[in-house]
Chain A
Amino acid sequence: MREGTAVRSIRLALAAAAVVLGSTAVGRASEQPDLSGHWTADVPLPDGRTPQLVVDLDRLGSRWGGEFDVLALGVENYPVHVELLNGAVKLTFADAEAHFTGRHSADGNRLAGLLEFGTQKIEIELRKAGKAAFSPLFLEFEAAADDSSRVENLSARGNELRLRFNSDRDKIRLVLLLAPS
């Protein structure tokens, strides 16, 4: 998988701190866990430091979504992808190329599992500490994600772009080819 600029910068931050997280599954899995909330976990690093992972999760329309911070590593307001897998919860911190897989406790206030980054695995326990608190920017991005008018779909050879490019032939044209993540 190729790395974007954001990925590279976060990977460097994490690698510099020799971070990676993990955990053991505990508790009873819920059929439909309520993941909404502000979750925090201490991440014990090999160098003795324990930065805090903060994850805010909530239902965003018909799906779960959220954002995460590791402020001690300069990581703030990056998206979290949420999957429910046979009673387990998988959180993908895509911009850090890390993921957490764990299970809900019986009282619904803990998520214990394994945080994985590269070849490293660290056990952590996320504890719910109130309601999700999304950044304003996160909410703006989510609104944009739901607005299908923001992008035009291209066919395989980019014919729509070609036509526009040619019709703008009297202008300076700047073409950016980018990965969105």
Chain B
Amino acid sequence: MQEQVLATIESEKLAIYVVWEPILRTDNARASRKATMLVPDARARHYWIDTEALGELFQPALGLTTEPAWDVYLVYPPGGTWSDVPPAPEFFMHQLVGRLPEERLLDGEALAQRIRQLLQ
């Protein structure tokens, strides 16, 4: 993510939010602080949430029904806001094999290209 996507886009018009969620057995606040090293981009804001509640809030935006949203990458153009529930992204990619469309499996170059298109 850092090398293939974020490092290729220098614009300050890109805001990045990384939410670390407790999905795996070893996920905790300490692990989230370590994981920030994986996305060192200066524009990134890192968050930790100790429940799956936020992932569940994002379920409708992605059409997920069986598990919280995680391992997903959501792109929002300027203008839209988040009121009661998170809005549906303009574009997304994921690594949830078999649970979201295969054509949206994470492809760093494609994700970066889409972001660059929105920045133009």
The stretch of A12-20, A120-128, A156-164 that contacts the partner chain: A156-164
Residues of chain B from 82 to 97 with CB closer than 8 A to chain A in the complex: 82, 86, 89, 95
Using Cβ atoms and an 8 Å threshold, which residues of chain B touch A146? 33
Interface of A is mostly: mixed
| Total residue contacts A-B, CB cutoff 8 A | 182
Q: Are B119 and A172 in contact (CB under 8 A)?
A: yes
**A150 in contact with B33 given A160-B47, A178-B70 (CB within 8 Å):** yes
Q: Are A179 and B47 in contact (CB under 8 A)?
A: no
Check if B110 is an interface residue, CB within 8 A of chain A: no
Check if A10 is an interface residue, CB within 8 A of chain B: no
Mask for B44-61, Cβ within 8 A of A = 1, else 0? 011111110111011000
**A97 CB to nearest chain B CB (Å):** 9
Q: Are B34 and A145 in contact (CB under 8 A)?
A: yes
Q: Are A172 and B58 in contact (CB under 8 A)?
A: no
Q: Are A176 and B1 in contact (CB under 8 A)?
A: yes
Q: Name the CB-closest residue of A to B25.
A: A1
Tell me, in angstroms, the Cα distance from A54 to B13 when the chains sit together. Answer: 45
Of the residues A4, A147, A177, A180, contact of B55 by C-beta under 8 Å: A177
Q: Are B72 and A177 in contact (CB under 8 A)?
A: yes
Tell me, in angstroms, the Cα distance from A141 to B31 when the chains sit together. Answer: 9
The tally of residues in B whose CB lies under 8 Å from a CB in A reads 61
Of the residues A4, A142, A173, A175, contact of B24 by C-beta under 8 Å: A4
Tell me, in angstroms, the Cα distance from A141 to B32 when the chains sit together. Answer: 10
Q: Are B75 and A144 in contact (CB under 8 A)?
A: no
The bracket for how many chain A residues form the interface is 35 or more
Q: Are B37 and A144 in contact (CB under 8 A)?
A: yes
For the complex of A and B, 7 pairs with smallest distance between CB atoms: A180-B35, A179-B23, A154-B49, A180-B31, A94-B26, A173-B76, A168-B15
Interface residues of B (CB under 8 A from A): 1, 11, 13-37, 39, 45-51, 53-55, 57-58, 67, 69-82, 86, 89, 95, 115, 118-119
Sampled A-B contacts (12; CB under 8 Å)? A2-B23, A94-B25, A94-B26, A146-B33, A154-B48, A158-B49, A170-B78, A177-B55, A178-B18, A179-B24, A179-B70, A181-B25
16 new A-B contacts, CB < 8 A, other than A164-B15, A175-B89, are: A2-B24, A94-B25, A144-B36, A145-B34, A147-B33, A152-B45, A152-B46, A158-B19, A161-B54, A162-B86, A166-B81, A172-B15, A175-B73, A177-B74, A179-B27, A181-B25
